[in-house]
Amino acid sequence: MSVLTTVLSREIRKTEETAAMERALQKNRLTHHLMPPTGWLNDPNGLCYFKGRYHVFFQYAPFEANGGLKFWGHYSSEDMVNWRYEGVPLFPDSIHDCHGVYSGSALVDGDKMHLFFTGNVKMDGDFDYINNGRQDSTIHVESTDGIHFGNKEVAIHYTEYPDSYTCHIRDPKVWKDDQGYHMVLGGRKKGDHGTVLFYRSQDLKNWEYDRELTTENTFGYMWECPDCFELSGAKVLSVSPQGLTREEERFQNIYQSGYFIRQDGNVQEENFREWDMGFDFYAPQTFEDAKGRRILIGWMGMPDADEEYTNPTAEQENWQHCLTVPREVTLKSDMLYQWPVEEINTLRGEATELTAENTEIEAEGPFDLEVQVQGERIALHLGENLWLEYADGKASLHLSEAAGAGRKIRNAQIPSGKLTGIRILVDTSAAEIYLNGGEVVFSTRYYPENLKQNVKIDADNVHGKIYRLNSMTYTEN
Ligand code: FRU
């Protein structure tokens, strides 16, 4: 350990210990969403299942709730509901990543966990930091226990990327197949065209540029956090594009996250589907677990959204943002559906039946509501804080002035044309709404004054249940 790492790790522990003492007073701390012990969290990183445990790393700025120098934080779990905080495995402590250990992924190969990430370096001087002044090497570390990592090695030096690119290439996602190892990186080509770049390797050390993939017309100036996987025969490319023009029912946030199902290996902009239609969802990553499930976790946050909406936790409780619950991804009718992994059901407690005669109930804290619905017009209200409306094949999510902290309305077309099912996971300051078994999802932060809220459904017919949702457990390593 370098002196810098020792000092930083001591400082993080102190900051987290102080935060631990303050936790009891923090009403917005989440019960079933992973959040930073203190400070700021963004993208999920290094998701994998390794030697009997799920690993969730995340972009972490422990010293500042409004973002800052990025480290990787780390949670692990046997079952995705009982979590252990493992501390900070990666520090910005080398000449290749001194301004941030940026996003990346894990590859489990044999008895090792490999992490690949982007080292962010901003040079001092008069630079625009797009075409010059920034280094973005891809870095590799490995581990045999998933907790302690060896030396940082440069896998791709920033000078080796193709000349046609700006200094914005990052967020490696790595996988293995019969041909060897593969990596996809997100990029901003000169001329502001978002793309992904593919690299190949036979030994995880030497990486060779293979090719780029992008849409015919420019679809955003930058594609962040790419992911590439096959699911039930479909070849999927997930990206987080920046620079799309906002529309009424699509691309409503400042930046988007979505996927293409590739046709003959290519991607067409008209085939791009957003993963999530809520206010707070970005930079998702997937992995395959030991049961063969494709699991997605997203960042429940939005970069650069603070002119429109905010998270009061940053000022009031010194932390900001969280991750979505792990969602199983499946392919249905040429689309990807997302659904909370079944382990979340183990948190369900006491249940109350919701029927056409009983459509209103007072909830007192976090809950999981799952109902089948019928009707031309349907509405679901959480007190006056948040409501979902459905009519004419469209759904819209509304937040009140008080609970939204700037969030107002998000719309979504329902591809199958009709609303038949609603599931909503409601946490202290977050809600995930799944329509039609995960055909459309809205994720949002929200800040109700009181967790006692009247849950009310208006529909021609309703049947299902609302369960109290117990807290996930957190321990510290
Ligand atoms: C996405 C992102 C990534 C980058 C990381 C830095 O939110 O901008 O592209 O690696 O965050 O924290």
Task: Please give the pLDDT value at position 115.
Answer: 99
**Dihedral of the CA atoms 380, 375, 339, 463 (nearest 10)?**
80
What is the chain's mean pLDDT, rounded? 97
- For ligand 1, whether the C-beta of 375 sits within 6 Å is no
Q: Alpha-carbon distance 421 to 438, whole Å?
A: 9
Whole-angstrom distance, CA of residue 262 vs CA of residue 271 = 8
Q: Tens digit of pLDDT for each residue in 136-146?
A: 999 999 999 99
Atom of ligand 1 nearest to the CA of 70: 12
Task: Please tell me if the CB atom of residue 120 comes closer than 6 angstroms to any atom of ligand 1.
Answer: no
Q: Which two tokens stand for residue 279?
A: 């206010």
The atom of ligand 1 lying closest to the CA of 225 is 9
Across the range 281-285, mean pLDDT stands at 99
pLDDT of residue 265: 93
- How do residues 144-196 score in pLDDT, each as one tens digit? 999 999 999 999 999 999 999 999 999 999 999 999 999 999 999 999 999 99
Residue with CA at minimum distance from ligand 1 atom 8: 224
Q: What integer pLDDT is reported at residue 20 of this predicted model? A: 87
- 446 CA distance to ligand 1 centroid (A)? 23
| Whole-Å CA distances, 191 to 131, 164, 220, 337 | 10, 9, 11, 34
Ligand 1 neighbourhood includes 283 CB (under 6 angstroms): yes
Banded model confidence at residue 1, pLDDT cuts 50, 70, 90 = low
Of 141, 103, 146, 99, the C-alpha closest to 121 is 99
Query: Which residue is listed with tokens 């041909």?
Result: 179
Q: What is the predicted pLDDT for the residue at 210?
A: 98
Q: Ligand 1 center to residue 436 CA distance, Å?
A: 31
Mean of pLDDT values over 375-384: 97
Evaluated on CA atoms 142, 89, 104, 337, the torsion sign reads: positive
How confident is the model over 32-51, as a mean pLDDT?
98
CB-ligand 1 contact for 170 (6 Å cutoff): yes
Tokens (6 digits) for 15: 């900051």
Give the mean pLDDT of 20-39. 93
* Structure confidence by residue, pLDDT tens digits, 285-299: 999 999 999 999 999
Which of 41, 42, 323 most suits a substitution to test ligand 1, by most atoms within 8 Å of the C-beta?
42
- Which pLDDT value is given to residue 450? 92
Closest atom of ligand 1 to CA, residue 240: 1
**pTM of structure:** 0.98
Ligand 1: distance of its center to the CA of 430 in Å? 22
**445 CA distance to ligand 1 centroid (A)?**
20
Distance 197 CA to ligand 1 centre (A): 17
- What is the structure's pLDDT at 46? 98
Ligand 1 atom at minimal distance to the Cα of residue 186 = 9
Q: What pLDDT does residue 204 have?
A: 98
pLDDT-derived band at 350, boundaries 50, 70, 90: very high
* Average pLDDT for 191-210: 98
C-alpha 102 to ligand 1 mean position (Å) = 6
Q: pLDDT (tens digit, 9 = 90+) per residue, 392-443?
A: 999 999 999 999 999 999 999 999 999 999 999 999 999 999 999 999 999 9
171 is catalytic: no
The answer, yes or no, to whether any atom of ligand 1 lies below 6 A from the CB of 156, is no
Task: Name the residue of 103, 158, 166, 255 whose CB sits within 8 Å of the most ligand 1 atoms, as the mutation to test its pocket.
Answer: 103
SS (H, E, C) the chain: CCHHHHHHHHHHHHHHHHHHHHHHHCCCCCCCCCCCCCEEEEEEEEEEEECCEEEEEEEEECCCCCCCCCEEEEEEECCCCEEEEEEEEECCCCCCCCCCEEEEEEEEECCEEEEEEEECEECCCCCCCCCCCEECCEEEEEECCCCCCCCCEEEECHHHCCCCEEEEEEEEEEEEECCEEEEEEEEEECCCEEEEEEEEECCCCCCEEEEEECCCCCCCCEEEEEEEEEECCEEEEEEEEECCCCCCCCCCCCECCEEEECECCECCHHHCEECCCCCCCEEEEEEECCCCCEEEEEEECCCCCCCCCCCCHHHHCCEECEECCCEEEEEECCEEEEEECHHHHHHEEEEEEEECCECEEEECCCEEEEEEEECCEEEEEECCCEEEEEECCEEEEEECHHHHCCCCEEEEECCCCCCCEEEEEECCCEEEEEECCCCEEEEEECCCCCCCEEEEEECCEEEEEEEEECCCEEEEC
Question: Six-digit token pair at 153?
Answer: 């090695």
Compute the average pLDDT of residues 203-230: 98
Backbone angles phi, psi at 310, to 5 degrees: -135, 180
Determine if ligand 1 sits within 6 Å of the CB of residue 168. Answer: no
User: Which atom belonging to ligand 1 lies closest to the Cα atom of 299?
Assistant: 7
* Confidence band of 24 (pLDDT split at 50, 70, 90): confident
Q: What is the pLDDT of residue 451?
A: 92
